[in-house]
């Protein structure tokens, strides 16, 4: 496989202009992860603000990563472990505070699920908190409020020219101490020295034990330029700035026309034969079976993973409108059965032995659940499968263990 890691900017790339994930984008990224490619979301957002997006894309179940604060932090989406971090020296906060007070700029920083600011009425600070699903907390001085080493401090101002001038000043006088990122017209982000998405990507590549040639990166803004240049293949969004497009290997459509999904499909999915299993034929053959009656459809099949979907409707819901547990077990046995058939040798067949499930939450009528089946043990006489069933928003509904017996075909 040519690529091992896909790094995606979030705003302006992964999300459309309404800050939404489209169905095509979600499906494409899940497919990419199903064939073994790791996904990292790289954003200027704080880690807390990226977590819901990572969850919707199922990054936790595929050992994906979050690159937050424009590269100041790299976090495992599965465990939450911080794999890489560069923070600001707390002794520099009073200096930044004096600059903000002198110019009348608003100061802010992220702390857990809060945006802490000297002016929580500032429209840009309010929008930042809303975008990331964070709370606001007012303080008089950040130098007093900050208790730990901050990952990023923001200076906010409506005067773009003044902010650009301050950015130039700081880059000249703070070289080797801190870095600045002028990410948008009204915000200057102050980060630790040698912080950027490219630095974080390089650290992640080293930790994964792969080369930069095995990385594909997609972005639209100035903060994405270095990572696009460093990656084996760099792709610019159709809505990217001219500087970004000049640095990329090629461009795709904009973020309101599924540009990222289209680029991934062309660069990765089209070059990988995900399966030789005739999914369409299997679905057609199952029309008049239990599968067809419940609306189960295979969506992906390989020796390492089987996936299927099932709509929650009148065929499989309980009287009060939630998915029936028995239908969930039938879905799990369906994907595990195909998994065993794929894993079997030509002279072997399989029969179900045991199924047990833990139902942890509910799925409601109108939703479509997705089963993800992976092998736990593929022995000579038995196969053990783990099947996790999720809602369309990525919430775990049930975790099911299926055991199939492997037998030699008769005759």
Structure-token pair, residue 77: 């989406």
CA 110 vs. chain centroid, Å, equals 20
CA-based nearest residue to 297, from 305, 288, 286: 286
Q: Which residues is 382 bridged to in the sheet?
A: 405
Instruction: Specify burial of residue 216 (Cβ count, 10 A radius: 0-12, 13-18, 19+).
Output: buried
Structure-token pair, residue 12: 């302006």
Structure-token pair, residue 379: 């022995």
Catalytic-labelled residue, pool 152, 333, 348, 365: 333
Is 333 in the active site? yes
CA-based nearest residue to 394, from 20, 134, 59: 59
Q: In b/e form, how buried is each residue of 281-320, taking b as 16+ CB within 10 angstroms?
A: ebbeebeeeebeebbbbbbbbbeebbbbbbbbeeebbeee
DSSP assignments along 194-236, one per residue: T-SHHHHHHHHHHHHT--GGGEEEEE-SGGGHHHHHHSSEEEE
Torsion over CA: 398, 60, 283, 376 (sign)? negative
**What is the DSSP pairing of strand 5-9 with strand 38-42?**
parallel
- Would you please indicate which residues are annotated as catalytic (active-site) residues? 333
């Amino acid at each position: 496989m040519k690529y091992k890691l896909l790094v995606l900017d979030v705003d302006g790339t992964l999300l459309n202009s309404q800050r939404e994930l489209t169905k095509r984008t979600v499906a494409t990224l899940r497919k990419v992860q199903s064939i073994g490619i790791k996904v990292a979301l790289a954003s200027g957002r704080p880690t807390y603000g990226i977590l819901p997006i990572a969850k919707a894309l199922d990054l936790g179940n595929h050992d994906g990563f979050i690159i937050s604060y424009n590269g100041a932090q790299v976090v495992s989406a599965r465990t939450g472990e911080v794999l890489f971090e560069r923070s600001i020296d707390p002794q520099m906060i009073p200096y930044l505070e004096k600059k903000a007070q002198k110019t009348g700029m608003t100061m802010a920083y992220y702390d857990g699920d809060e945006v802490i600011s000297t002016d929580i009425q500032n429209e840009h600070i309010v929008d930042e908190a809303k975008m990331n699903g964070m709370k606001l907390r007012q303080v008089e001085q950040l130098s007093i409020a900050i208790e730990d080493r901050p990952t990023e401090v923001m200076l906010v101002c409506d005067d773009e020219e003044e902010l650009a001038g301050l950015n130039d000043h700081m880059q000249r006088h703070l070289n080797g101490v801190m870095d600045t990122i002028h990410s948008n017209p009204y915000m200057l982000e102050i980060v630790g020295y040698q912080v950027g998405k490219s630095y974080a990507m390089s650290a992640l590549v080293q930790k994964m034990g792969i080369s930069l040639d095995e990385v594909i990166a997609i972005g639209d803004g100035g903060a994405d330029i270095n990572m696009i240049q460093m990656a084996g293949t760099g792709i610019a969004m159709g809505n990217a700035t001219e500087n970004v497009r000049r640095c990329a290997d090629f461009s795709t459509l904009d973020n309101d026309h599924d540009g990222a999904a289209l680029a991934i499909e062309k660069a990765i999915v089209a070059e990988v034969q995900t399966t030789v299993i005739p999914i369409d034929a299997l679905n057609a053959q199952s029309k008049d079976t239990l599968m067809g009656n419940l609306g189960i459809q295979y969506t992906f099949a390989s020796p390492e993973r089987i996936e299927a979907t099932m709509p929650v409707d009148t065929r499989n819901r309980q009287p009060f409108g939630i998915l029936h547990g028995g239908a969930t077990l039938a879905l799990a046995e369906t994907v595990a059965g195909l998994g065993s058939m794929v894993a079997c040798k030509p002279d072997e067949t399989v029969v179900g032995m045991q199924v047990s499930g833990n139902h942890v939450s509910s799925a409601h009528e109108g939703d479509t659940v997705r089963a993800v089946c992976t092998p736990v043990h593929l022995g000579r006489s038995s196969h053990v499968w783990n099947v996790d069933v999720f809602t369309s928003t990525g919430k775990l509904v049930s975790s099911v263990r299926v055991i199939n017996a492997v037998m030699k075909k008769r005759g």
